[in-house]
Structure 1
Amino acid sequence: MKRLLRLAIVDDYPVVVAGVASFLASECIDVVETGALTPVITDVDIVLYDTFGQVQGVGIDLQDFVRDSGAKVVVYSWNLEPGMIEQAMAGGASGYLSKVLTGPEVVAALERVMAGEIVVITGENETSVGGAGDWPGRSSGLSPREAEVLALVTQGLSNQEIADRVFLSTNTVKTYIRSAYRKIGVERWPQAIVWGMANGFEPDALRTVDRALLGRPPAAGVAAT
């Protein structure tokens, strides 16, 4: 019998982790949910690194997972900007997958990564299309991109810092902010932060990697060194 692919989902937002896990539940994947307070179990095959609301330099970045884990790292994102993809691949990711992909498409891509390929599948270019998975603010009508921008607002980033983070122009960021504000019923930045903190847009905590788990268990019949 073929062994199930073991997957760790990495994101600091429990609703995002739960949404991705639910999306993949019917596929032939053994999902190990990994939230902010749970260390990565490094005997997994792949770390699926969800970029929602992530700020480079806060907590553990993609490069840390690539360096510290025996698993392959695949970015899973609504953000399909070429600069974002180039940065991820330069950071050592083995793949970059769009969240518009279906479950079978994601599984097929992960299997290709396990076979040694570098896999980049962007799917549709629109980063705010509907799809499986979940995100904070979905019940308030926020699109994935509006929610991501609002998450970064909640973390105190300026419009320019958000633009740099998600590889968009400041005018485009302002457009997403204005549409998000209308949907949540606020008018100013401080009100948006208060709303965000009350509605799941503040990351749980800084993620940690348990150093005791960094080595994969030895194969059967092979003594540990």
Structure 2
Amino acid sequence: MDPIRVALVNDYEVVVRGVAEMLRSYHNRIRVVELDANKQVNHRVDIALYDTFAATRGDQAAVRELASNPLVGVVAVYSWTLDPAHMEATLANGAGGYISKGLPASGFVAALEAIHADGERIHAGRKDISAVVMGDWPGREGGLTEREAEILALITQGLGNTQIAERTHLSINSIKTYIRSCYRRIGANSRTNAVLWGIEHGFQPDRVRITNPEPKPGSVETRARA
């Protein structure tokens, strides 16, 4: 059986590269043929995996756009948010699958295979996500968790706390808690300081397409950049 052809989609190059790296050990089952940061998928793929990290364009619009692309077989959303109503709304919006970031890599790959085979569409996985560390994100080397980094990315893009809560499906109190912990880690004492730190450390969305239609096993090469 041929590997499933996958495009990875997010506004941040480091995020899609991190997911690609996580899938390297499964190259005989999953072939990453394209990484898209703020770009439309332009190769025929079985699955476009949409990572919701700091989705500055908004999940609903991005999912609808991907689902309408004739080159995409099905859209799968990759997210921390496990609210049942939100997951069902995402499917109703055009996604063909929903995968929790709480799954281990093996479960993640199995979920992609199930979605490709028109099997189970929602793969919620474990609820204890605190111990799960997969992929990559801006600020990880500086000690930021993925959630803290996501909040800082949205702050860097100019969103207020209410907008961030709506985007991440977290409560205002949770947002404030993440902001405080984020500020402590980066040594910021104000929102302005945090934005400046974010700009200096890669928290502005990228605009790049990385393609590799016929990759060597486990590799992703930069072929085109805009």
So what's the TM-score if we normalise by structure 1? Answer: 0.83
Shift of 1:132: 1.6
Structure 2 CA distance, aligned partners of 1:158 and 1:179?
17
**Identical aligned pairs, as a percentage?**
47
SS in 2 for 1:186: coil
**1:32-68 deviations in whole A, cap 9, x for unaligned?**
232226541341100000011102459x611110112
Residue 162, structure 1, aligned to residue 154, structure 2: no
Structure 2 CA distance, aligned partners of 1:4 and 1:92?
24
Shift of 1:129: 3.8
SS in 2 for 1:108: helix
- Counterparts in 2 of 1:199 and 1:162: CA distance versus 1, 3 Å: same
User: How large is the Cα RMSD of the aligned pairs?
Assistant: 2.2
1:188 maps to which residue? 190
SS in 2 for 1:26: helix
- Counterparts in 2 of 1:143 and 1:84: CA distance versus 1, 3 Å: farther
Provide structure 2 residue ranges, at least 5 long, that are not aligned to the other structure. Answer: 210-226
Indicate if the aligned counterparts of 1:150 and 1:201 stay in contact, CA closer than 8 A.
Answer: yes
**1:80-112 deviations in whole A, cap 9, x for unaligned?**
344542332221111111122122212221121
Indicate if the aligned counterparts of 2:8 and 2:49 stay in contact, CA closer than 8 A.
Answer: yes
- Counterparts in 2 of 1:153 and 1:129: CA distance versus 1, 3 Å: farther
Q: 2:152 aligns with which of 150, 153, 170?
A: 150
Indicate if the aligned counterparts of 1:9 and 1:17 stay in contact, CA closer than 8 A.
Answer: yes
Indicate if the aligned counterparts of 1:83 and 1:167 stay in contact, CA closer than 8 A.
Answer: no
Aligned residues: 206
SS in 2 for 1:48: strand
Indicate if the aligned counterparts of 1:81 and 1:166 stay in contact, CA closer than 8 A.
Answer: no
Shift of 1:75: 0.5
Structure 2 CA distance, aligned partners of 1:206 and 1:68?
18
1:17 maps to which residue? 16
SS in 1 for 2:99: strand
- Counterparts in 2 of 1:141 and 1:57: CA distance versus 1, 3 Å: closer
So what's the TM-score if we normalise by structure 2? Answer: 0.83
Structure 1 CA distance, aligned partners of 2:76 and 2:201?
28
The structure whose Rg is larger is 1
Residue 89, structure 1, aligned to residue 88, structure 2: no
Indicate if the aligned counterparts of 1:77 and 1:97 stay in contact, CA closer than 8 A.
Answer: yes
Structure 2 CA distance, aligned partners of 1:31 and 1:9?
7
Mean CA deviation greater in 76-85 or 13-22: 76-85
Structure 1 CA distance, aligned partners of 2:82 and 2:102?
10
Indicate if the aligned counterparts of 1:94 and 1:119 stay in contact, CA closer than 8 A.
Answer: yes
2:48 maps to which residue? 47
Shift of 1:133: 0.5
